[in-house]
Homo-oligomer: A and B are copies of this chain.
Amino acid sequence: MKSINWSASDLEAFSALAQTRHFTRAAERCHLSQSAFSQKIRRMEDSLGARLFERSTRQVSLTPEGEVFAEDVLRIEGELRQALAQLRDLAQCRTGRVAVAALPSVAAVWMPALIARWRALHPQVTVTLHDTLAHAGLALLREGRVDLAITAGGDLREFDTEVLMTEPYWLVCRADHPLAAREAVTLAGLVGEEVIHLSRGSSVRQHLEHVPQVQGLRASPLEVEHLATLAALVAQGLGVTLVPELTLFHFRQAGLAAVPLDEPSLARPIVLARRKGRALSAAAQAFQALLREAPLAVRPVR
C-alpha cells in the first residue's frame, strides 16, 4: 500500500489498459514490455489499495472503482497534455500575444514593415500596437498593459531602457527656400530663420528645449499641435521647422523640402523601455529582438 509518485506515464498506462482491456496491446501502445506494464498497473493498484482491473488470463475488465477513475484520468490526462502543449507553444511563439506602445511616428514609419516581418515569423502571435504619445505609452507600460514601450526621452528611471537608435533631425522649409538645395545644414546656418515649433506638450519640443543652440534661434509665435498643420504653415512660407527623421513622411509633398541637419548633438534617442524586474514573455523577447535589428533596415531618404 506504499504511495507512489503518480506520473503522466502512469495515467497513460491506465487509460491505455482501460481502453484496450488487454495488457499486451496496451503495453505496446505505451512502448513498454508487457512485464513492465503489468508491474506498473500493479504498483498503481497497490498504492491505492484498490483493484482497478479485474483480470483473468483471458479477460481484462475495469472494476467499478476503475470505471469511476477512468473518467477522471481521461480528463486529467487531456488537461495536462493541453497545459504542456500550450506552454510549449507560448515558449516557441507558436501562440500568444505581445503588446507594444510606440510613438506615433515610430508606429507609422517603423512598425508597419516590422509587424509584417513579425507576422511572417509568428503568424499565430497577436500583436497589439498602441500608437500613443510618450507619456501615455509609459503609463500603459507601468500598468502592465503593454510589454514594451518605444519612446523618446522623458523620465525613464523607473524602467529598464535601451537605446534602439538615435534619430537625426531635419530642416523642413519651402522648396523655393535658399536652404532647400543644400546637402546639409547646421544650426548655425539657420540663424535668422523663423522656426515654427510644435507645442510644449510634444516630446519633440521638450527635446529641442534642452538644446541651447536651438534656443538661440528666432522662434515663430506660431505653435501647433499636429505635424500636418506644421507642414501647411511651412508650405505657406510662414517659417521653417525642425523635425525628427521619423516624422518626415508628413512633409513629403510638393512645395516642401527636407534637408539633413548635421548636428549629432541634436539627434534624439529612440528608447525601448521595459518594466523593471519583470520578465518578458517569449513573444515579447522575440519582438524585442526584432526591434533591435530593425533600425539597421530603416533608412528613410530625403
A interface, CB within 8 angstroms of B: 5-9, 48-51, 54, 59, 61-65, 68-69, 72-73, 75-76, 79-80, 82-84, 86-88, 90-92, 277-282, 284
* Minimum distance in angstroms from A81 CB to a CB of chain B: 10
B48 x A279 contact (CB < 8 A):
no
Query: Is the Cβ of B87 less than 8 Å from the Cβ of A69?
Result: yes
Q: Which residues of B contact A83 (CB under 8 A)?
A: 69, 72-73, 76
Would you give 27 A-B contacts (Cβ < 8 Å), ordered by A? A5-B9, A6-B80, A7-B8, A48-B84, A48-B87, A48-B91, A49-B88, A49-B91, A49-B92, A50-B90, A54-B279, A61-B279, A63-B279, A63-B281, A64-B280, A64-B282, A65-B87, A65-B281, A65-B282, A68-B86, A68-B87, A68-B90, A69-B83, A69-B87, A73-B83, A75-B79, A76-B80
**Complex: chain B residue closest to A83, CB-CB:** B72
Main secondary structure on A side of the interface with B: helix
- CA gap between A62 and B277 in the complex, in Å: 11
* Distance A294 CA – B65 CA, assembled complex (angstroms): 26
Q: Which of chain B's residues have a CB closer than 8 A to the CB of A88?
A: 48-50
Contact indicator A90/B76 (Cβ below 8 Å): no
A113 to B198 CA separation, bound complex (whole angstroms):
96
Chain B residues within 8 Å of A8, by CB: 5-7
B-side contacts of A92, CB under 8 Å: 49
Complex Cα distance, B7 from A153, in Å, reads 49
Of the listed residues A73, A75, A80, A86, the one surrounded by the most CB atoms of chain B closer than 10 A to its CB is A80
Partner of A65 from B5, B54, B68, B91 at Cβ < 8 Å: B91
| Docked complex Cα distance between A249 and B54 (Å) | 41
A281 to B76, CA, bound (A): 23
Q: A295 to chain B: closest CB distance in Å? A: 26
Residue from A51, A59, A69, A87 having most chain B Cβ neighbours under 10 A = A87
**Closest Cβ–Cβ distance, residue A5 to chain B (whole Å):** 5
Chain B's closest residue to A92 (CB) is B49
Do A50 and B282 touch across chains, with their CB atoms under 8 A apart? yes
